[in-house]
Amino acid sequence: MSFKSPFPDVEIPNKSVYDFLFGDIADEDLARPALVDGSSGAVTDYKTLIGQINGVAGALAARGVEVGDVVALHSPNVPAFGSVFHGILRAGAIATTINALYNAEDIGKQLTDSKAKMIFTVSPLLPQAKAAADAVGIAAENVIVLDGAEGHQSLKDLLTEGAAAPDVSFDPATHLAVLPYSSGTTGRPKGVMLTHRNLVANVSQIQPRMGADHDDVLLAVLPFFHIYGMTVLLNLGLKVRASLITMPRFDLEQFLSLTTEKKITYLFIAPPVAVALAKHPLVDKYDISSVRCVFSGAAALDENLGNAVAKRLHTKVRQGYGMSELSPVSHSIPFDGDDMPLSSCGVAVANSENKIVDPATGEEVEYPEAGSDQVSAPGELWIKGPNVMVGYLNNDEATKETLDSDGFLHTGDIAIVDGQGCVSIVDRLKELIKYKGYQVPPAELESLLLTHPQIADAAVIGVLDDEGEEVPKAFVVLQQGAELSEDDVMTFVSEKVSPHKKVRRVAFIDVVPKSASGKILRKDLRAAEKAH
């Protein structure tokens, strides 16, 4: 069976991301602010942005970057991110965006796996970027520091060369545009292969439902390096000719003062920001009445919390659901979806089709009749549409486990659907943990814990803290005679991993529950945790 998006199909232009976003820009839009640096106030208008994108593409081509080469971009949100990101795509190269929180080891793994030829970074992140580049053999001349640093070229240097964008040709339907990294349903982070068509499709699928246009001012605090910020801010925001105000990191006071000062109309957030918006006393000190919509995604939004934000800010609150492998948006409550419950992620985006499949039987659940007030039984959410990735880079096995022969992507999330077609995520089948919306792959932490001489076995799952936020918890089996405290375990991990991957809870157990084939039974650990 399967059920379809309630919306009519939209046209998906057969264009590159650059042609789709900027090919038909109207003259009157050229002078509009595209990206505004939230710290300095410096404005990059659409005309300048397009000039810089072409300048970056030209500079890349002059350095021998060819169609299909991979270029890494490692930066927090600054206006230059837009010029470089779209410059890489404009040159026909593939952008692999790297989490700005990553340590040198994590950066190095992504550079190696993606075979990146160059890396763009910023001076505060240069030590770890440089260490990673050195380790994988990327020469200093191919480490570009956007804001400049001794011994490296800057974005300004590249643009001063004035090289024209190369004349490239590729098929947007099959040519890769970006390679974000995601651990998917199991294991370590893998390169998610997304084509120009995937990215063009996802903007086309969501644009009619978001209600955002050129009068909107978007606070760009969600990182552009993550697929949520990339598609919703850097692609959709620019497509509708909105203005993006960049913030390199979340700081509540700056968030509120920029919202007031720049008259932000649309806020895109992850649930931890909703907690602050609902509860923090600072919020009352600012006039943020310009905000007409707060859009949350990347992790489950508690319904009461979402309603508290709506009430306090006198604004609409919406929830969406997405996944790197889906470019990323597959479900959202539309701007005009006042009748949809905030406990849900709304309905399937245009041109897409869903199944909910009982993991125990492999059979689809029964869907409630249209308009009824019934809900389905829970099952794994499967999704088919033009936004579904091509596969994981150099990993056919993981691709086969995730994408079936009918083109459905198995999300690893457990969902239910109601009679209106609204889908709610109720549990997770896959191992992934989300900490503040960032991915934490347990497999990585488990193998790190096993390197400790006093640890015999370990398993890591996500548990909820007092605020209802998911945090990584390690279940550790000690070697006989070992004397290790919870703090010792947490310190051991925190010294070696990027900050968002720290283990934040520890329990000592006698044995890690495993299946006959040796797979960790996370379900059992989760059930024991809940019963606690």
Binding site residues, ligand 4UW, CB under 6 A: 182, 227-228, 232, 295-300, 319-324, 328-329, 332, 345, 411, 413, 425, 428, 432, 434, 439
Contacts for 147 with CB less than 8 Å, ≥ 6 apart: 78, 80, 122, 123, 154, 155
CB nearer to ligand 4UW: pick between 197 and 410? 410
70-73 and 143-145 beta bridge pairing: unpaired
Nearer Cβ to ligand 4UW, position 243 or 296?
296
Question: Which DSSP state fits 384?
Answer: E
CA dist., res. 219 & res. 323, Å (int) = 21
Least distance from ligand 4UW to the Cβ atom of residue 40, Å: 28
A 10 A CB-CB count for 398 gives 19
Least separation, in Å, of the C-beta of 424 and ligand 4UW?
8
Give the residue with the Cβ less far from ligand 4UW, 46 or 268: 268
| Shortest reach from residue 193's CB to ligand 4UW, in Å | 14
Q: How far is the CB of 425 from ligand 4UW (least distance, A)?
A: 4
Q: Is the Cβ of residue 92 or residue 346 nearer to ligand 4UW in the bound state? A: 346
Kindly tell me which of 182 and 246 has the beta carbon lying closer to ligand 4UW. 182
Q: How far is the CB of 295 from ligand 4UW (least distance, A)?
A: 5
Question: Which of 114/182 has CB closer to ligand 4UW?
Answer: 182
Least distance to ligand 4UW from the beta carbon of 101, Å?
Answer: 13
d(CA 145, CA 153): 6
Residue 270: CB minimum distance to ligand 4UW, A: 8
Rg (CA), the chain: 23
Task: Pick the closest to residue 90 from 12, 164, 147 (CA basis).
Answer: 164
**222: nearest Cα among 106, 336, 353, 77:** 77
If 0-12 CB within 10 Å is exposed, 13-18 middle and 19+ buried, where does residue 177 land?
buried
Q: Give the whole-angstrom CA distance, residue 113 versus residue 29.
A: 39
Cβ proximity to ligand 4UW, 58 vs 82, nearer residue = 82
- In whole angstroms, the minimum distance from the beta carbon of 130 to ligand 4UW comes to 27
**Closer CB to ligand 4UW, 370 or 464, in the complex:** 464
DSSP for 475-492, please give it: EEEEPTT----HHHHHHH
| Residue closest to ligand 4UW (Cβ) | 297
What letter would DSSP give residue 464?
Answer: E
Taking CA atoms, 400 is separated from 132, 183, 362, 414, in Å, by: 31, 14, 16, 20
Phi, psi of 497 (to 5 degrees): -115, 165
